[in-house]
Chain A
Amino acid sequence: MNPWAPFEWITALRFLREGRMQTLFIIAGVSIGVGVIVFMSAMLTGLQANFIKRVLTSQPHIQLIPPDEVARPLRNGSGIIPAAIVQRPAQRLRSIDQWQKVRQQLLQWSEIITVSPTVTASALAVRGDASRSISLSGIDPEVYFNIVRVPDYIVAGQPRVTSEDIIIGLDLAKDLGVTVADKLNVSSATGSTRVLTVSGIFDFGNKGANMRSTFVALRTAQALSRLVGGVTSIDLTVSDVYAAETVARAVQASTGVQADSWIKTNAQFFTAVNAQQSSNTMIRLFVGLSVAFGIASVLVVSVIQRSKDIGILRAMGTSQGQILRVFLLQGGLLGLAGSIIGSGLGAGALVMWHTYMRQADGTELFPLILETRLFASAILLAAVTGVAAAAVPAIRAARLDPVVAIRG
């Protein structure tokens, strides 16, 4: 007997060791359950992180835009509205009012990482007889590239944006027959035209984006869209992507400029992520419950099998509390042992899945994220579940009448 272990530990361990077949089977059951939970949780964390990374590396977390122009009904002095039908005005390209002040204000916020003023306008890219409509983004590359990582997607040339440069997509370059260092005529809807040099060609992996998105210097876009000194949006990134909506509301309240978070503009995507999270939680809950019932059923049988032992122990002066603790401990130990093995199984399965399941181009399907927190919480939760599952059999054992127990 280990001199450091008290009566309850010694007895619980001996009971588990003696019923080793039962113990092994239930530990295997708990291990599989915990393995499934660990595997699913880690895989979904990885997949979600990947989805969110993909979504959020091609758009800002929050975008500040000027408020919509609205036409108000005309009223005369007596409160009568002479023209009841009011047509919605067309939204012309406008700058955010006093955007420099707003920018300075936003730079003070601890939750906001990047503040990038941008001009977005539609234009026409012309080369010879060919022309394509494009979306022109006038950017400050030093800050904007922290939001949309254009340099990561460059397949030819450099991610350079001086006042004479333009970065275009692969499909647009093919359509117009241009390559790096070729010239393009860019005409805006306002009638301004500039000749720009293709400095880089990107491939976002999306034909639409590759056809339409182009990047020029902020000043170039301002000049082309006749918004000298103005910006049409301020793009932000925040430290906690899931808090983007809350931050957006605070920014809107504080600056008076309309702020749209990625959660709002990608509502469907966000709903899908949430649905995935809820289904994952449900699966984990039910697997956890089946683990708990497994432990409980084994211990219920064990109490019946050991009723004579319990009776003898009670006859020799063992208290109800001691008997209770012996069985609670068995539940906790089964949960703990199963969860440690299960965590290993889950991690192993995850590494295998990550190694062998690849995308068509050989890149990883999802990033491998093995958080210590996940394993620690799985182990702790399984041990607590084991103790909780053991409660009913343990109470039953403690309440056994020693006379009845000894007689069997």
Chain B
Amino acid sequence: MADRQNVLRLEGVTKAYNVGTPVEVEVLHGIDLSLMRGEFVALMGPSGSGKSTLLNIIGLLDRPTSGRLFIEGHETSMLDDAALTRLRGHSIGFVFQYHYLISAFTALENVMMPMLVERSFPDAAMKERAESLLAQVGLTQWQNNLATNMSGGQQQRVAIARSLAMNPALILADEPTGNLDTKSADTVLEMMRRINVENGTTFLIVTHSNDLARRCDRTVEVVDGRMTATSG
């Protein structure tokens, strides 16, 4: 059922690999999770617990073996690949641990990219929005730098600006500060929090850092493919 305030809902989501073979392995066992608009949530768990698999399923990069997944009220199991790609482009932004900007483009162009993918031809409005997003993350003077000519912290801020380009309801961040020094990590986290408060964007942040988790609204924990605790 569509719920305006409900950005993400998982109902009994499982994920198994090598289905139907003797080496079938289930990595997620019936995950239930719900995120409301404007929430800032940490997703924790030991390595190999299924966090990344869960994040890929939520990010529509992978499909669950069973269970249902709703993004902004849209049930996704019946959608084909093209529709999933469109929904992903509109509703979800990604921030990865290793920032992954496209090195052939400048910071500004990287931020414009999701809009360019959607609308095909670049225009002034796109540029304006990208500039304002870069201003939000404090990188106006770096906007014409190629991604390769920026520090890790700067690149991660560009990645955050890029994830906001389509004004998505949900941003999935996979250890966004894992590869940064303490100062840069702090800046990036503060920035995400500010965007969360100002824009009402929901954040789901995969992290190993208890410090980061403490600064979130709540923490969900996955152990051995099961949701074990929700706190906050």
Excluding A3-B123, A316-B94, 5 further A-B contacts by CB distance (< 8 Å) are A15-B104, A17-B104, A308-B100, A313-B117, A406-B100
- The reply to whether A315 and B117 contact each other, CB–CB distance below 8 Å, is no
Within 8 A of A (CB), among B40-69: 56, 59, 61-62
Contact flags (1/0) for B60-102 with A, using CB distance below 8 Å? 0110000000000000000001100110111001101000111
In the complex, the answer to whether A1 meets B122 with C-beta atoms within 8 Å is yes
A143 at the interface (CB under 8 A from B): no
Query: Is B135 interfacial (CB-CB < 8 Å)?
Result: no
Complexed CA–CA distance, A317 and B114 (Å): 7
The residues of A that contact B104 with a CB separation of less than 8 Å are 11, 14-15, 17-18, 309
Q: Which residue of B lies closest to A13 (CB)?
A: B104
* CA A319 to CA B117, docked complex, whole Å: 8
The segment from B105-113, B190-198, B203-211 found at the interface with A is B105-113
21 A-B contacts (beta carbon < 8 Å): A1-B112, A1-B116, A3-B122, A5-B121, A6-B120, A7-B117, A7-B120, A10-B116, A14-B104, A15-B104, A311-B100, A312-B100, A313-B113, A313-B117, A315-B88, A316-B93, A317-B118, A318-B89, A319-B82, A322-B117, A403-B61
Question: Which residue of A is nearest B89, CB measured?
Answer: A317
In whole Å, how far is A20's beta carbon from the nearest beta carbon of chain B?
11
A3 cross-chain contacts in B, Cβ below 8 A: 121-123
Which A1-28 residues sit within 8 Å CB-CB of chain B? 1-7, 10-11, 14-15, 17-18
Question: With contacts A18-B104, A317-B117 known, is A403 near B82, CB below 8 A?
Answer: no
CB distance from B126 to the nearest CB of A (A): 9
B103 contacts chain A at the CB level, 8 A cutoff: yes
For B157, the chain A residues whose CB sits under 8 A away are none
Q: In the complex, A242 Cα to B134 Cα: how many Å?
A: 69
Residue of B nearest to A322 (CB): B117
B162 within 8 A of A: yes
CB within 8 Å for A316 and B89 given contacts A1-B122, A402-B61: yes
State how many angstroms separate the Cβ of A327 from the closest Cβ of chain B: 14
Which A residue's beta carbon lies closest to that of B126? Answer: A1
A314 at the interface (CB under 8 A from B): yes
Q: For A312, what are the chain B residues with a Cβ–Cβ distance below 8 Å? A: 94, 96, 100-102
Q: How far is A211 from B103 in the complex, measured between Cα atoms in Å?
A: 79
Cβ contact within 8 Å between B89 and A403: no
B100 touches A317 (CB 8 A): no
Q: Which residues of chain B have C-beta atoms less than 8 A from A5's C-beta?
A: 121-122
Whether B103 and A318, one on each chain, are in contact in the complex, defined by CB atoms closer than 8 angstroms, is no
Whole-angstrom CA separation of A313 from B162 in the bound complex: 11
A15 to B104, CA, bound (A): 6
List residues of chain A with CB under 8 Å of any chain B CB. Answer: 1-7, 10-11, 14-15, 17-18, 308-309, 311-320, 322, 402-403, 406
Contacts of A10 in B (CB 8 A): 116, 122
- Whether B56 lies near A313 (C-beta < 8 A) is no
Interface hub of A5, A314, A315, A316 (most chain B Cβ within 10 A): A316
Shortest CB distance A320–B (Å) = 7
Contact between chains at A18 and B109 (CB < 8 Å)? no
Return chain B residues, CB-CB under 8 Å to A11.
104
Which residue of A is nearest B123, CB measured?
Answer: A3
Q: Which residue of B lies closest to A309 (CB)?
A: B102
B contact residues around A309 at 8 Å (CB)? 102-104
Q: Name the distance in Å between A213's Cβ and chain B's nearest Cβ.
A: 72
User: Which of chain A's residues have a CB closer than 8 A to the CB of B100?
Assistant: 308, 311-312, 406
B85–A318 contact, CB under 8 A?
yes
Q: Is the CB of A317 within 8 A of B122?
A: no
A7 touches B116 (CB 8 A): yes
Chain A nearest CB from B218 CB (Å) reads 25
Q: Are B114 and A316 touching (Cβ within 8 A)?
A: yes
Q: Which residue of A lies closest to B93 (CB)?
A: A316
**A38 CB to nearest B CB, Å:** 32
Please give me the residue from chain A that is nearest to B121 by CB atom: A6
Interface mask (B104-147 → A, CB under 8 Å = 1, otherwise 0): 11000100111011101111000000000000000000000000
Contact A403 B113 (CB under 8 A): no
Chain A residues, CB < 8 A from B81: 320
Q: Are B103 and A18 in contact (CB-based, < 8 A)?
A: yes
Q: How far is the CA of A273 from the CA of B114 in the complex (A)?
A: 59
Which residues of the other chain, B, contact A2 by a CB distance below 8 angstroms? 122
Q: Which residues in A have their C-beta under 8 angstroms from that of B109?
A: 1
In whole Å, how far is B26's beta carbon from the nearest beta carbon of chain A? Answer: 17
Give CA–CA (A17, B146) in the complex, Å.
13
> For residue B96, which residues in chain A have a CB less than 8 angstroms away from its CB?
312, 406
Of B56, B117, B121, the contact of A318 (CB 8 Å cutoff): B117
Contacts of B118 in A (CB 8 A): 317
B169-189 contacts to A, CB under 8 A, are none
Docked complex Cα distance between A6 and B126 (Å): 14
Could you tell me if A315 and B94 are in contact, using CB atoms closer than 8 angstroms?
A: yes
| Nearest 8 interchain pairs by C-beta | A317-B89, A14-B104, A18-B104, A1-B122, A316-B114, A6-B120, A318-B117, A7-B116
